Amino acid sequence: MALPLKQVGTFMPSEISFLAENTLVTIIPRQAMESVELIGGTIPSLRPMRRIEIPIWVAILLKKQSRCNIVPPDWLSEENLKITYDAEAANMTRFSANLPWEWVEVGELILASAPDDLASPPHVIRNLLRDIREVRQAKARAGLKNLNESYLQLDNVGAMELNEIRSFVTMSMNELRTMQSTREGPEQQDADVATNDEDEDEDDDDLLQESYDDSMRTTTSYPDSNDTVRHSSRLGSDFASTEKERSSSMPDSLVTSNHHSAASISHRSTQSRSRSALPQPPIYTDDNDDEEDEDNDMEIDENYLNAVNGN
């Protein structure tokens, strides 16, 4: 049989009650009985008027056969139930620790199977149990206001009480977790993108700074073979130092020949500059008047000679 959606992932009340029947209770046997070996354990031998603890389902079976009396637990007495109710009503933020894990189920089983074994009237015990349960349910509903997606504190809550809110709490926490992840998703993505952009900018700035430092750190000056001061970067400086080492390791004759070569090159360049500074040769004109042309030619020749001699 398919379960309703609200009961999927949880237990039915009858299943919780069935599991609670393994709880041990004290009985007073009326008849003797030998021990019985069962799959779930061994039922010890019973002796009349000798108290012994057995599972509550065996006690209910023997009670129906009038072969024992069930001794109610201490917390199920009228006095203790009133103390528990007062403690629950006084503190609306915490659950009382006076009740056991399966107090709802055990109380109902004893009231249904052995009401005559209670010291107080059954209706008084039943009313006290109902009042305590209503107060605790109100606390559980109030505590749901503080529900979040990751944590829920539930101290001293019974099995039946926890089973009643299990389905709602789990579904609510799943929805809150989904909403939280949806809300944090874009913000976290934007934060990651911004962080990556900042890291890339810092890397670019560091690369530019390193390139600038490499270009400016090793700039040096050295004279060439013509005693002209030249500036170089690290590569040029290494080249210059290599040239100096080569010059220092060369023989004196080669060094002297290099100087003579440099001097001859300088003299030839000076002669070239002097020749380029001489005036251009005269240009003669040819007209019809021979006498006038001859006078002009003589004047041009005289000016050219004066320019050559520096007069």
As to burial, measured by CB atoms within 10 angstroms (0-12 exposed, 13-18 middle, 19+ buried), residue 75 is: middle
Nearest alpha carbon to residue 99 among 129, 60, 58, 142: 129
Other C-beta atoms lying within 10 Å of the C-beta of residue 233: 15
- The dihedral region occupied by 70, where left means phi > 0, alpha psi between -120 and 50, and beta the remainder, is beta
Contact 89, 135 (CB under 8 A): yes
- Confidence category of residue 59, pLDDT binned at 50, 70, 90: very high
Contact 105, 20 (CB under 8 A): yes
- Confidence category of residue 304, pLDDT binned at 50, 70, 90: low
Contact 126, 72 (CB under 8 A): no
Contact 106, 23 (CB under 8 A): yes
The predicted structure's pLDDT at residue 80: 95
- Confidence category of residue 291, pLDDT binned at 50, 70, 90: low
The predicted structure's pLDDT at residue 29: 96
Structure tokens at 77: 């007495």
- Confidence category of residue 67, pLDDT binned at 50, 70, 90: very high
Report d(CA 14, CA 235) in Å as an integer.
91
Domains within the chain, CATH numbers bracketed: 5-171 (3.40.5.50), 215-261 (no CATH)
- Confidence category of residue 1, pLDDT binned at 50, 70, 90: very low
Q: Are strands 36-38 and 24-29 parallel, antiparallel or unpaired?
A: unpaired
Residues 6+ apart with CB under 8 A from 104: 129, 133, 158, 159, 160, 161
Query: Residue 224, CB half-sphere, CA atoms under 13 Å: how many?
Result: 8
Q: What are the counts of helices (DSSP H) followed by strands (DSSP E) for the chain?
A: 9, 7
Q: Minimum mean pLDDT among 48-62, 167-181, 188-202, 262-276: which range?
A: 262-276
Nearest alpha carbon to residue 44 among 62, 20, 66, 64: 62
Nearest alpha carbon to residue 104 among 48, 160, 57: 160
Report d(CA 246, CA 61) in Å as an integer.
116
The answer to whether the pTM exceeds 0.85 is no
